[in-house]
Amino acid sequence: MSLITELPLEILIRIFRHLPRASLYHVGLTCRSFYRVYKQPSLWTCVDWRPLGSRVTDDVLTWLSCTTQGQLRQLWLKDCPEVTSTAYRLLLEGSPRLTYFSVKGRHHFGLPALFEGTRTTWPCLHLEVVNATGMGDQSLNGLVQQFPNLQHLDLIHCHNIRSFQVLASLIHLESLDLSHNGVKSEELNIIIQRCSNIKVLVLDLCYRLEDSVIETIAAHLPQLRHLSVNYCVNITNVSVLQLDRCPGLEFLALRSCHDVTEDVLEYIASATALKQAHTPLGKWRFWA
């Protein structure tokens, strides 16, 4: 043990970075030297606590905020229903460099309460919210006001949201994932028209999506590189043909869009930079 503890602090930090974040606590209790490394803010710039699940509580997030001393840049959480809006707010206040924030799992009522309860703006650029059953229209309005500079937003399986049109205010968006939501075609058309910098768009299982959305995409997203509309069964050849107006398109997913034919895919591949496609029959196609 003495040999490794005599290594320079910088080397020990590099070694510790290869350990699972959920195990660092136990390693830090091994000896004083390891505890000193464990408390270094630079060790906690990227934290993936999804394996901890419900063991993440208010006290744990408060500890993280104090330990990182404003150095936290990326954070992943999953299934931690006991975390309150106060803990989320204190974490964001103490993490001015946080650019990537991901929360997955049901019953995260603290997160919707955060969106509804404060009008502070945060500098985060990438926000991921998945299976947040407590998210409603009021929560979404608060999210847009608190994260006005978002470039990447994943809002997946949030069934209690009835209107998504407010997302049109996020004009800096480059990536948007609204999979498994009841978003209407009319709302999507408005969002796409106003967020013309989108390069990655994922709308899997958006069952209300119609041809008009694909037509709007073709007309207003010339920089689009990735489009996924799996299980959007109302999509037809009529609109997909217009994707030739997106010359940089590299990926297209159309699984279970049975009104789209193989010859249309071949045409889009010849007219764009298409390299990979998920066909209506669930097969993968590749082009050089």
User: Residue 179's pLDDT band (boundaries 50, 70, 90)?
Assistant: very high
User: Residue 270's pLDDT band (boundaries 50, 70, 90)?
Assistant: very high
Res 218 pLDDT > 90: yes
For the domain 185-288, what is the CATH code? 3.80.10.10
β-strand 276-278 against 284-286: which pairing, if any?
antiparallel
Mean pLDDT of 238-255: 97
Q: What pLDDT is recorded for position 2?
A: 63
Res 232 pLDDT > 70: yes
Task: Name the CATH topology of 44-162.
Answer: 3.80.10
Which one has a higher pLDDT value, 35 or 254?
A: 254
pLDDT, the chain, mean: 91
Mean pLDDT of 205-226: 97
- The domain ranges of the chain are 1-39, 44-162, 185-288
How far apart CA 196 and CA 155 sit, in angstroms, is: 19
For the domain 1-39, what is the CATH code? 1.20.1280
Kindly report which listed range (25-39, 134-148, 205-219, 238-252) carries the lowest average pLDDT score: 25-39
User: Residue 21's pLDDT band (boundaries 50, 70, 90)?
Assistant: low
Asked whether the domain spanning 185-288 has the same topology as the one spanning 1-39, the reply is: no
pLDDT tens-digit map of 38-91:
778 888 889 888 988 888 999 989 988 888 889 999 999 999 888 999 999 999
Q: What pLDDT is recorded for position 105?
A: 85
pLDDT tens-digit map of 90-145:
999 999 999 999 999 876 778 888 898 877 899 999 999 999 888 899 999 999 99
Task: Count the Cβ atoms, other than its own, within 10 Å of residue 129.
Answer: 23
Mean pLDDT of 263-277: 97
